[in-house]
A and B are shown apart, each in its own frame.
Chain A
Amino acid sequence: MSGSTSPAAVQATGIGRVFNAKGGPVTALDGIDLRIEPGELFGVLGPNGAGKSTLIKILSTLLLPSTGSASIFGLDVVTETARVRRIMNLVAGGDFSGYGLLTVREQLAMFAQFYGLPYREGMAKVDAQIASFGIEEIRDRKISALSTGQRQKLNFARSFLNDPWILFLDEPTIGLDVSAARDVRDRVRAFQAEQPGRTVLLTTHYMAEADEMCDRIAIVDHGRILAQGTPTELKRMVQKDALFVVGIDVLPASMSLDSLRGLPGVVSVAARDTDGSDASGVGSPMLRLAIGLKEDAALGGVISALAAGGAHLQEISKSEPTLEEVFVQLVGRGISESDEVSDGE
Chain B
Amino acid sequence: MGSSVVGAEATALISRIHEETSWSLGRRFRHAFVSVVARAYPRVIGAAREPSWLFFDLVFPILGMCSIVFLLRSRGVDEAWIASTILATALLSFWISVVWMMGAQFHWERDSGNLLLYITAPVGLGAIALGMAIGGALGVVIRAVIITVAGVLLFGAKYQVADPFLLALVIFAGVAAMYSLGVCLSSIFLISGREADHLGSLLNEPMQLLGGVYAPVRSMGTVGVVALGILPLAPAIDALRQVAVPQLAATGILPVGVELLILLVMTIVFGVIGRLLLAHIERIGRSGGKLLARAD
Contact = CB atoms under 8 A, between A and B. Distances in A.
B121 A85 contact: yes
Given A62-B291, A73-B17, A86-B23, A115 B121 contact: yes
Interface in A54-77: 57, 60-64, 73-75
A221 to B, nearest CB: 20
A99 to B, nearest CB: 5
Interface string A161-186: 00001000000000000000000000
Interface stretch (A194-202, A236-244, A249-257, A292-300): A194-202
A38 B5 contact: yes
B5 A114 contact: no
Given A39-B2, A39-B5, A62 B120 contact: yes
B49 to A, nearest CB: 5
A148 interface: no
B48 to A, nearest CB: 9
12 contacts: A38-B5, A38-B13, A40-B4, A73-B18, A83-B22, A89-B120, A96-B113, A102-B45, A106-B41, A109-B38, A111-B121, A198-B2
Interface in A68-126: 73-75, 82-90, 92, 95-99, 101-102, 106, 109-111, 113-116, 119
Interface string B69-85: 00000000000000000
A64 B283 CA distance: 8
Nearest to A166: B17
A325 interface: no
B39 A110 contact: yes
A193 B2 CA distance: 7
Given A6-B11, A75-B18, A85-B122, A113 B116 contact: no
What secondary structure prevails in chain B residues at the interface with A?
helix
Interface residues of A, number: 60
Interface string B117-130: 11111110000000
Interface centre among B45, B49, B113, B117 (most CB of A within 10 A): B117
B287 interface: yes
B37 A113 contact: yes
A4 interface: yes
B121 A215 contact: no
Interface string B1-32: 11111110111011001101111000100010
Interface of A: 4, 6-8, 17, 19-20, 37-41, 57, 60-64, 73-75, 82-90, 92, 95-99, 101-102, 106, 109-111, 113-116, 119, 158, 165, 189, 192-193, 196-200, 213-215
A4 B10 CA distance: 12
Contact of A37 (B10, B27, B118, B121): B10
The 5 closest A-B pairs by CB, nearest first: A97-B113, A113-B38, A83-B21, A37-B4, A38-B5
Given A110-B39, A213-B1, A215-B2, 19 more contacts: A38-B13, A40-B4, A62-B292, A63-B289, A75-B18, A84-B21, A87-B21, A90-B120, A95-B113, A96-B112, A97-B117, A101-B42, A101-B50, A109-B38, A111-B121, A113-B35, A113-B37, A116-B34, A197-B10
B31 A116 contact: yes
A175 to B, nearest CB: 14
Nearest to A42: B2
B46 interface: yes
Contacts of B122: 82, 85-86, 114-116
Contacts of B13: 7, 38, 73, 196-197
